[in-house]
Amino acid sequence: MEEQKKKDELPVLMGRRTFLDYCIGGGIAAWASLTAYTALAFLWPTKQSMGEEGGEGIAIALSEVPVDDSKKIGYKGKPIIVIRTAEGVFALSAICPHLGCLVNWHAGEKQIECPCHAAKFDLRGNVLGGPAPAPLLSYKAEIINDQIKIG
């Protein structure tokens, strides 16, 4: 009887329900932070993921960009997208002129698309649709021997 009375008088620091609320809230906050970080890392690549920074001109092996495919590389500190089709090779800024997301090549539609707000561009960087206010910057690109020379 005496012992039961002592148990009832012990201070409760945190109730079970409050503890679970904190755990669930912390889990949701951690998940939201990780999701936001992953999305931002995808949209704004690091210098390392952009590849080497070039000087005046750079070259990449032709085999790195198969026909109807593309590759993003760094050129003068900025990401560019190199696209190879049956028509030749094209090098364009990979930065969407709308809000700066990285664009992607879609071989099926034969156009470049921005994943953020669906701006569309042709192989020369001209705007085909969407909110982009200007074309993609275009760089000189040509195939010489087994290399794609840019710049």
- Residue ranges that bind ligand FES, judged by CB under 6 A: 96, 98-99, 101, 114, 116-117, 119, 130-132
- Per-residue tokens: 113: 């698309």
**Nearest distance, CB of residue 51 and ligand FES, angstroms:** 21
Q: Minimum Å distance from CB 60 to ligand FES?
A: 25
Q: Please, what is the minimum distance in Å from the beta carbon of residue 85 to ligand FES?
A: 22
Give bridge partners of residue 89 from the DSSP assignment.
84
- For ligand FES, the closer of residues 85 and 104 by Cβ is 104
Which residues contact residue 23 at a Cβ distance below 8 angstroms, ignoring those fewer than 6 apart?
A: none
Q: Is 12 left (phi over 0), alpha (psi -120 to 50) or beta?
A: beta
Q: Which is nearer to ligand FES, 93 or 150 (CB)?
A: 93
The DSSP output letter for 95 is: B
